[in-house]
Amino acid sequence: MAGSSQLVKELREKTGAGILDCQKALTENGNDIEKAIDYLRQKGLAAAAKKSGRETNQGLVHSYIHMGGKIGVLIEVNCETDFVARNDEFKAFVNDLALQIAAAKPAYVRREDIAKEVQDKERAIYEAQAKEMGKPPAAWPKIVEGKLEKFYQENCLLEQSFIKDPAIVIKDLVSQKIAKIGENMNIRRFTRYQLGEA
């Protein structure tokens, strides 16, 4: 029993999930901690999906200044209630997002924010690159789609790997926070400034 309570403690530290959820995850997965983490993540994502339709009219506008005033980020993250907006965990999460933007330089929140002309231009460039590499025309669409996915991962905040834990992407981090805090959240917008950059 001591071993299982130690496992529950370890799982709670790694996931932030409740005691009963951790016990259930370990029971369902034969006390395999890695499988239990995956199980909790899947459950968390399912819980987050249920909350995704709820209104987010509260939240926080947060500023982050980095490198002695050389990089600045202004971000707005919305949630359902003022109570959560004032919660330390929510504030820390918003600050982590600002750090992410400062370090990883995304240009958009999500891929749907990218203008069609920009996507068409990228497609044309990738197709020209495939042609230049001497690849057969039948392979071009697959090459173009692969490069476009990489473009999204580099330029869309929600699709970037989290700088504090590269094993997780930002959209999954948002889902985990929704599941943990119990409210829908939405990254509305951000602006990143870098000294001397146009």
Strand partners, 139: none
Please, what's the b/e burial string for 80-93 (b: 16 or more CB within 10 A of its CB; e: otherwise)?
Answer: beeebbebeebeeb
pLDDT, tens digit, for every residue of 126-151? 999 988 888 888 988 899 999 999 99
**3 state SS of 80:** coil
pLDDT at 117: 95
> Does the global pTM surpass 0.85?
no
Contact 136, 119 (CB under 8 A): no
Contact 162, 170 (CB under 8 A): yes
Count of domains forming the chain: 3
For residue 86, what is the domain's CATH number?
3.30.479.20
Q: Are residues 148 and 161 in the same domain?
A: no
HSE (CB half, 13 Å, CA atoms) of 101? 29
Residues 5-21, mean pLDDT to the nearest whole number = 77
What number of residues does the chain have? Answer: 198
pLDDT, tens digit, for every residue of 52-103? 566 678 999 999 998 888 999 999 999 988 999 999 999 999 999 999 999 9
Token match 């707005």: residue?
Answer: 76
Residue 39 backbone class (left: φ over 0; alpha: ψ -120 to 50; beta: rest): alpha
Q: Are residues 33 and 125 in the same domain?
A: no
In this prediction, residue 44 has a pLDDT band, given cuts at 50, 70 and 90, of low
Q: Are residues 86 and 164 in the same domain?
A: yes
For residue 46, what is the domain's CATH number?
1.10.8.10
Residues 163-181, mean pLDDT to the nearest whole number = 91
Q: Are residues 125 and 87 in the same domain?
A: no
Q: Are residues 177 and 137 in the same domain?
A: no
What are phi and psi for residue 3, nearest 5 degrees? -60, -45
Distances (CA, A) of 132 to 79, 112, 125, 128, 137: 47, 29, 10, 6, 11
Residue-number span of the structural domain to which 11 is assigned: 2-51
Q: Are residues 28 and 103 in the same domain?
A: no
pLDDT at 16: 65
Contact 147, 129 (CB under 8 A): yes
Q: Are residues 64 and 44 in the same domain?
A: no
pLDDT, tens digit, for every residue of 177-190? 988 888 889 999 99
Q: What are all long-range contacts of 130-139, with beta carbons under 8 Å and residues at least 24 apart?
A: none
Whole-number Å distance between alpha carbons of 68 and 172 = 31
For residue 133, what is the domain's CATH number?
1.10.286
Whole-number Å distance between alpha carbons of 1 and 117 = 60
Residue 76 backbone class (left: φ over 0; alpha: ψ -120 to 50; beta: rest): beta
Mean pLDDT taken over the chain: 87
What's at 165, amino acid-wise?
Answer: D
